[in-house]
Each structure stands twice: as C-alpha cells, then as structure tokens.
Amino acid sequence: MSVHLRSATLRDCSAIYEMVRELENKTFNKSDFEKIYAANLRDNSIHYVVAELDNRVVGFVSLHFQKLLHHNGSSAEIQELFVNNGLRGGGIGKQLMDRARHIANDRKCKVFEVACNIKRKNSRRFYEKEGLKRTHYKFTENLG
C-alpha cells in the first residue's frame, strides 16, 4: 500500500492526538497535548512524520534526537509509531520506519533506537522484522 509521507504540521494535531490516545489506551488533556505538540513542532530535536491515504492521516512516527555520551554522538529514537488498526500489515509502518531511518542518516546519527512497551508483542515482532535488536531493558517510574 502506497501512502504519502510528509512532515507533520499543526493541522495534524487532532489526528495525532487520537493515535497517541489509542496507542497508550488513555485520554490526555487535549489542551496540554496541543501545547506540547506545537512546541515539539518547533523543536529541532524532534521530527514528526505522518502517513496520508486519500488525504487522511493514517499513520504517524515521532523521532527524537539526542547527543549522548555513551554513543559518542547523535542518536535517533522513535518515541511513537502508530498505524490505524485496519491498515496494519499493509506496509505503512515499514514506510514510516524507512523514512525515520532516512532522517536519522541525514542527521548523521550513530544509533537508531526504539523503546517498546513490553505488552506490545506485535510491535516487538515488527521492530525485530525491521532489523532492530533487543539490547536493553528500560525502567520507568511515573512521577505525576
């Protein structure tokens, strides 16, 4: 399935809100979400890409860049990757991954990473199929 990929804009906020809400299986304060989204669009260390099919946003990837001491250079990490449920398995996720890798390479990143919730078995299989290796454990604590 061929979709149109492009950098996200402010007008994509509502569609991305719904995707992140579904991804995390919770509701967020929409006003706070919109403020964070708008600030992130202006942040050069974050890049959002959307996938459009028939002029409708059907997928999304967020890529975050950091200069990390333990990588001795720049890294790119996917924070969210989402494809609408009825379209999964059709290649949209792969296209988003390929675009994210391309952006990371253009920025001369040494490492391309993704953290994946342990409960998302299908997502873990997808990332492994895409060539990523499980090398770390991630520990989290909710602070507020």
User: How far apart, in Å, are the Cα atoms of 139 and each of 4, 55, 119?
Assistant: 35, 39, 14
Element (H, E) at 73: strand 73-83
pLDDT recorded at residue 1: 63
CA dist., res. 58 & res. 69, Å (int): 36
pLDDT recorded at residue 140: 83
Closest by Cα among 85, 77, 127 to 103: 77
Q: What is the pLDDT along the chain (144 residues), one digit of tens a residue?
A: 679 999 999 999 999 999 999 999 999 999 999 999 999 999 999 999 999 999 999 999 999 999 998 888 999 999 999 999 999 999 999 999 999 999 999 999 999 999 888 888 889 898 999 998 988 888 888 898
* Domains within the chain, CATH numbers bracketed: 4-129 (3.40.630.30)
pLDDT recorded at residue 113: 94
Q: Which two tokens stand for residue 64?
A: 């975050």
pLDDT recorded at residue 117: 84
pTM of the predicted model, to two decimals? Answer: 0.91
pLDDT recorded at residue 142: 87
**Contact by Cβ (8 Å): 12, 36:** no
Q: Which residues contact 9 (CB under 8 A, 6 or more apart)?
A: 41
